[in-house]
Amino acid sequence: MSQGLKYKLFDLATSTGLCLGCGLLAMNISVGRSIASQFDLPPAPISDIPDIPISPSPIPDQPLPPIYAQDINEQTNIRVYEIASPAVVSIQSGRGNGSGTIIDPKGLVLTSAHVVRTAQKVTVRLLDDRQFDGQVIASSRDPDLALIRLDRVTEPLPHVELISSANDIKVGQRAFAIGNPFGRFAGTLTTGIVSRLDRDRHLIQTDAAINPGNSGGPLLNSRGQLIGVNSAIFTARGNEGSIGLGFAIAADPVKDFVAAALSGQIGIDRSFKPPINLALNGRASRAALTASDETLPDGSFYKAFTFNGTSGQKVNLQMRSNEIDSYMILLDGEGNKIAEDDDGGSGNDASITLTLPKDGNYVVYANTYDVGEIGNFTISAQPLNINPNRSIPPSFPNSNTPRNSASAFSPAPNVILQRRGILGPGSRVLARDGSLFEAFSFEGIAGQVVEITLASEDFRPYLVLFSPQKQVIEQNSGITADRQNAAITLELPQTGTYGIVANTYDQSGRGEYVLTVKSLQ
C-alpha cells in the first residue's frame, strides 16, 4: 500500500530505538479574538466606561511598551514559555537523546520509554545548563512512558503541573510544544492547536510542529500545564520532519502511569530486544514479525537489525515478503532517521539505497505499513561501493590467478585469456555508480591485434581496457541489438601487462559472464 504517508514514531534522536520531538514551526490561530473573550471576562457595560477628555494640547512623551508583546497571542506564547521551559530537560541515555519534563520539584522527570530503553542511568540537563545524573525508576512500553528520579537535588526544581483531566482538553484549543529537536536546539517552542482527540488510543493530535529529537517532551495548554507527552509524528516518505501532524500521549494515561510508578506497581521494562546483526554482504536473512515483537505507537510490529558502515559507503537495503506490506526505517547509531521506505522495491517490498553519512553502527527497523500485520520476510544489506575512495583498477591480478568467482577453462590455441565468472556477492564495486566488476590482466606485444569480448545472458556488460600504465585505452557497452555482449578490437600500442575490467552497465547488473581475449594475428 503506497500511500506515501504513515503514522510512525520517528524520533531519531534516541538510542537504537526511535524517538521524536518538537519542531520549529510557529502557528498563530487566535485571530480576531478580544481580550475579554481570551480570558472569559464579561464585557464592561457602556455606563462603566469613563469619558476620555480630548485636549488639543500635544501628548507628552511617554515610554513605549516593549515591542516583543504586540498582541494577546504573543503574550500567551511568552507566558507559556516562561512558565514551562525551565522544567523541560534534555536527556542523554548513552546511545541517544530525547526530552523530558520535570513534574515534581524534588526531581521527578517524565519522558518516553524508548528514550531511555534499557538504560538504568541517564544524564539530564536543564535549560539553565545545570546537569544531574538520574535513575530510571519505571518504564512501560504501553503507554510509551518512563519516570526518572534525579540524584543530589538540593533545592526545589522548576516543574510543570499536569492538567487535572483529559476531559478538559478540547479540539481547537491552543497547544504548545517545548523540547530539544534533533538533539541540538534545547528550549525550542512551537505552537499550534489541538487538531483531534483519539479517545480510543488516548492520543492528542496537534499541528504544533514536532520534529526528530524530542520524544518525551511536553505538550502544553495556554496555562503552561502538561496535557500530553510528545510521542509521534505522521510523516511523508523520505521526510524526517514535521508536516503538521503530531501526536502526544494524553494526560489521563500519563497520570495513571506516574501514580502506578510511585506506588511501586510499575517497575522497569527490560524487555526491549537488542538489534539483530545484519551482515553487509547482500545475502538475505530470514525473519518473521510476530505478536510478541516490539511495537510503534500506531500498533505496528517491528524487528531491529544493525550493521556497521563507513562514511561515503553506498548501500542497498531490501525487505521482501509475500505475507506483509514491508516498511523499513534506517537510523544512525544515535537514533537519527536517515531514510525510510514503503514500496520502493517490487510490489509491497521495501528498498532503500543511499550513501552513508558517517562511520559507525546503523539500525534498520523491519516494519509493516499497516497495524497488526505479522508474517515472514527476508532482509538484506548490500554494499555498492566497498571502499568509496578506491579508484579502478587498483590492481590487476595475474592472468593465471582468477579472483573470486571467475574460473579458467581450456581455451583455443589463439586465446590469450578466457574466464567464466559471476558478478554478485563478493564482487568488487565501482564507487562511481555502484556497479559490480572484476579485474583481469594479460600480457600483450606491441603491434599485436587482439579481440576482447565480454558476454552475458544475465546483464548488460561493460568492458574497459587499460594500458600497462593503467590508463583507459578503450571501452564498450555492447555490440549486439540486445546489448548482451561487449567487445573491443584493437592493435596493442606497446608491450606490457594490460588490464581488463569486466563490469555491469549499471548497479542492477548481476549474473554469469564469459570474458575472452584472443589474438587475431
Residues designated as active site: 114, 144, 215
> Position of cell 589474438?
519
DSSP symbol at 186: T
CA-CA distance, 4 to 461, in Å (whole number)?
35
Check if the beta carbon of residue 330 is closer than 8 Å to that of residue 304: no
CA-CA distance, 142 to 297, in Å (whole number)?
9
CA-CA distance, 448 to 79, in Å (whole number)?
86
Residue 299 C-beta-side C-alpha neighbours within 13 Å: 8
Please, which residues have CB within 8 angstroms of residue 275's CB and are 6 or more apart in sequence?
16, 304, 305, 306, 363
CA-CA distance, 188 to 178, in Å (whole number)?
5
Q: Which of 88, 41, 68, 4 is nearest to 343 (CA)?
A: 4
CA-CA distance, 424 to 405, in Å (whole number)?
9
Q: Which of 193, 198, 197, 192 is nearest to 173 (CA)?
A: 193
Helix (H) or strand (E) holding 251: helix 251-262
Is the link from the previous residue into 56 a cis peptide, with omega within 30 of 0? no
**CA angle (98, 103, 105) in 5-degree steps:** 120
Q: Cell numbers of 381, please?
A: 544489506
Q: Cell numbers of 101, please?
A: 519534563
Residue 87 C-beta-side C-alpha neighbours within 13 Å: 30
Tell me, letter by letter, the H, E, C secondary structure of 36-85.
Answer: HHHCCCCCCCHHHCCCCCCCCCCCCCCCCCCCCCCCHHHHHHHHHHHHHH
